[in-house]
Chains A and B, each alone.
Chain A
């Protein structure tokens, strides 16, 4: 039970990429994503590709997964040939912290063996507060991790209960403190807003707690009721109200105002950082069309205009790799139009904005209209100093980003 993969064209069994995709490799940032498909329990709202021990049984284990991961990273190094060292590594899930500091050290070693790490590489792992400790943070710090992203979601007990989160409300803040004490300069707290039952005050309390923890990065995502989740069933049965768009808009404004006042500024629609250096470089790679290899079950990759995604089930993933074949389920080779559409879609989400020249004449006209309507920053759009204009969303525009994108691409 997890999100559905897109449909695409078949991916070659040897994982090979068209030569034109490999051209320019290394001139763009190169990242590695590692997907850890394990959780202790399944949260009702989550549709990510993750499994509990009960769901997997003996079909797959962290050990077989790690073997598969090593095999995939080896294949990646062969496919990419002169692979550049990784500028960023991001271990996500699932619950990477379930692997323990030792397990995460093994993961990073596998990445190092395949590609090496660039100087000053950003190495992030996600962690659930309840599976961390001072020893855990000290361990991963020593292994080479530079950034920790903690799933806080909320400080309100009733909100955590609705989300099926198991940690106690104070634990994420304590964990953030432990991470900082272990030497982590960059710590992120993930928040979810708009959960049924959450009030404006609950959200303010969560923000206060996050800010008091002294982190340099906050991500805030509105609750999305995904098809096929337990949450969707509860909403369908009428047990919980569906999140209301106006309430979500109000909450977003609270978040943006509160974080901005505390010195964290937005750099992507759902992300705020205390300084340019605190921004998550790995995630910026997604939005700026960088190359990355996503390893692990269901992981998505992008290299030079080719996107592909892996088999989702850990058992099939491991078995396919054990047979020496690529775990890719399917791929797509982006056309020029696709790539332009993606640039608008992704770069418009960033505070640095989208260069106007990406748009066609109709799109530029729409951009001017959107600026007049207060959705785009008119100063950034105009080229007062001769510099090319950029489409940068205003605070109101950020809440309507998808609608603006539809207008800009006609």
Chain B
């Protein structure tokens, strides 16, 4: 259906750019869908739940990874307006992308579940929005739920953003109750974009997506001037120029248009094939008569967490390489290089923004490319200063220097945890055990508390979130942001099988935790590795100093007593099966280690059940 919003170059005072800040499952996608429906851009028939969340993984995990945007018509008091809803990614690993989406908006709807209250991540994104001077409209969702406590959480929101509890809107995205009024308030409260239509063009890239058919689709918000098709544009961070093949808007399907003016949001297609050539946060200008000053805030995506990814079946290595090459087209933050592990064979050392980014990438590799992968324990990036004054950046424990180390710098993060106040003790204990420094504590309400800790990133990338959830019966929420680095007494612990170090199990840990790590791994491996024809010592060592030891006793019996009468066939087939099984073993020196032992040893699963089945 057509509307006045189909035509671009709308006067800026009729435009409102806003986003929705919400926690997973607090109803952001439902609200967005409802807005699409009420503004008429999505009719009842094509309406489907969670329209804006496109990828399967996002849907399953209930999170939005990639921001989308949509142009909506809305009338208030008989005047036509254009609303640009910019969808923000919702996880801690994507803080930078969130900040670029926020930079494209003048206002934000703070959407909070009326039965649950605000969560740590929402709070972090709220603060981010406030730093960008966005106008905040507080909204409680799911007020139709029997468990809703709108008065309680309205008071909480009012306390946090410093407004009157009566200013907090109440909606049900599911039933549509209050959503029209909310759209009216967006027009009334969110300031219109400001910009100079006659100045050289400047547009912010807030998302960049690879499409198999069209190449890279770049989402932009125009700040000054205008962007029209068939011009040459310049990426201000690199100076690269591209032909503009198409400019368009999303409503909610892509539609080519005659261009975008001040304050408008839309997409560009230039024919580039890799999102690295069209980076989030970069400023676009025209090649001729272009701007000289970019919009602020650009930075290159920087991996914070590294892990090795290996195919379980070594012959899948080329498939993994191809899959990573394809994923990278759509993921400017993913980086990788080939790596060889004595234990795991050929794989890739991959850098990620954070643990979720790692998990999503791994998930997609397994699901979309049918790969079976082992990932090594993730580690952060260390800066190691040697006594001779030289420095090394270590992204892989295998590269830990052997000489005399003067100091080691590790990244730290500022962490925000929100939880019911009864769990404060448990949370403090956990953070303390992970070398956390308490930065502050605030009661958001009588029963909910916000704790701020500075923690080494290395301490939270492995199983911190799981530990936090289990100690708070699932009620705690967590957010973190980079906060520089600190020196720490870190050592590399190697795990040796029969004197041979197993690179996949080496870890950088705090000296006080080295013994615990060594003992844990040695015990785990004793359970996981089947007995061999000889005794196998398992040692944990710092350099040449052994700190823990276990022994796998030699296997004494491996013979079938009987040949089952004359049934030789059965015995030969059993032998052939065993030979096949042997091929899947990885050799560490003379020790045969089943692939499952590596998988289980590297998993965070503490129950040990996997170990028992792998032992067979």
Contact = CB atoms under 8 A, between A and B. Distances in A.
Contacts of B573: 6
A269 B568 contact: no
Closest 9 CB pairs of A and B: A249-B556, A300-B566, A401-B559, A221-B561, A403-B558, A249-B557, A6-B569, A245-B557, A222-B561
A246 interface: yes
Given A224-B560, A246-B557, A402 B575 contact: yes
Contact of A400 (B556, B569, B570): B556
Contacts of A109: none
Interface string A3-47: 100101000000000000000000000000101000000000000
14 contacts: A3-B564, A33-B566, A48-B565, A245-B557, A307-B568, A341-B572, A341-B576, A399-B558, A400-B557, A400-B558, A402-B559, A403-B558, A406-B575, A406-B582
B565 A33 contact: yes
Contact of A399 (B534, B556, B564): B556
Contacts of B368: none
A137 to B, nearest CB: 24
Given A302-B566, A406-B579, A338 B572 contact: yes
Interface of A: 3, 6, 8, 33, 35, 48, 92, 220-222, 224, 245-246, 248-249, 252, 269-270, 286-287, 292, 294, 299-302, 307, 309, 332, 338, 341-342, 345-346, 349, 373, 375, 396, 398-403, 405-406, 409-410
B578 interface: yes
Contact of B578 (A302, A373, A402): A402
B557 A399 contact: yes
A4 to B, nearest CB: 8
Given A221-B561, A224-B561, A245-B557, A286 B575 contact: no
A87 to B, nearest CB: 15
A403 B533 contact: yes
B557 A405 contact: no
Contacts of B572: 338, 341-342, 345
B555 interface: yes
Most B CB atoms within 10 A — which of A224, A287, A300? A300
Interface in B541-578: 555-573, 575-576, 578
A2 to B, nearest CB: 11
A286 B534 contact: no
A269 B559 contact: yes
A28 to B, nearest CB: 15
Contacts of A248: 557
Interface size grouping (class) on chain B: 20 to 34
A397 B568 CA distance: 21
Contacts of B558: 399-403
Contacts of A401: 558-559
A292 B567 CA distance: 12
Given A338-B572, A406-B579, A406-B582, A309 B567 contact: yes
Contacts of A292: 566
Nearest to B564: A3
A292 B568 CA distance: 12
A409 B556 contact: no
Given A299-B565, A300-B567, 12 more contacts: A222-B561, A286-B565, A294-B566, A300-B569, A307-B569, A341-B572, A342-B568, A345-B568, A399-B558, A400-B555, A402-B560, A410-B579
Nearest to B559: A401
B560 A286 contact: no
Contacts of A346: 563, 568
B561 A269 contact: yes
B206 to A, nearest CB: 59
Interface string B412-456: 000000000000000000000000000000000000000000000
B561 A8 contact: no
Contacts of A35: 565
Name A's interface SS: mixed
Contacts of B578: 402, 406
A286 B564 CA distance: 10
A402 B570 CA distance: 14
Nearest to B579: A406
Given A375-B533, A399-B557, A8 B569 contact: yes
A92 B575 CA distance: 26
B565 A405 contact: no
Contacts of B564: 3
Given A399-B558, A400-B557, A402-B578, A373 B568 contact: no
A246 B563 CA distance: 21
A286 B556 CA distance: 26
Given A345-B575, A375-B533, A399 B559 contact: yes
A360 to B, nearest CB: 14
A92 B566 CA distance: 11
A6 B561 CA distance: 19
A269 B572 CA distance: 17
A48 B562 CA distance: 12
A224 B557 contact: no
Contact of B569 (A33, A221, A309, A410): A309
Contact of A301 (B533, B555, B559, B566): B566
B117 to A, nearest CB: 47
B200 to A, nearest CB: 72
A410 B41 CA distance: 67
A287 B578 CA distance: 20
Nearest to B563: A286
A407 to B, nearest CB: 9
Nearest to A287: B563
Nearest to B575: A345
A212 B562 CA distance: 25
Contact of B575 (A245, A375, A398, A409): A409
B561 A405 contact: no
A403 B555 CA distance: 10
B590 to A, nearest CB: 10
A299 B565 CA distance: 8
B563 to A, nearest CB: 6
A345 B565 contact: no
A338 B572 CA distance: 8
A287 B566 CA distance: 9
Contacts of B555: 245, 400, 403
Contacts of A302: 566, 568
Nearest to A405: B575
B569 A332 contact: yes
Contacts of B557: 222, 245-246, 248-249, 252, 399-400
A244 B499 CA distance: 29
A222 B557 CA distance: 11
B556 A246 contact: yes
A270 B566 contact: no
Contacts of A220: 561
B561 A373 contact: no
B329 to A, nearest CB: 43
Nearest to B576: A341
A309 B573 CA distance: 15
A300 B569 CA distance: 9
Nearest to A400: B558
Contacts of B556: 245-246, 249, 396, 399-400
Most B CB atoms within 10 A — which of A35, A220, A341, A400? A400
A6 B570 CA distance: 6
Contacts of B571: 345
B533 A373 contact: yes
B571 to A, nearest CB: 6
A13 to B, nearest CB: 21
A400 B566 contact: no
B557 to A, nearest CB: 4
Contacts of A245: 555-557
B348 to A, nearest CB: 31
B579 A409 contact: yes
Most A CB atoms within 10 A — which of B559, B571, B572? B559
A171 B307 CA distance: 67
A401 B558 CA distance: 6
Interface in B219-260: none
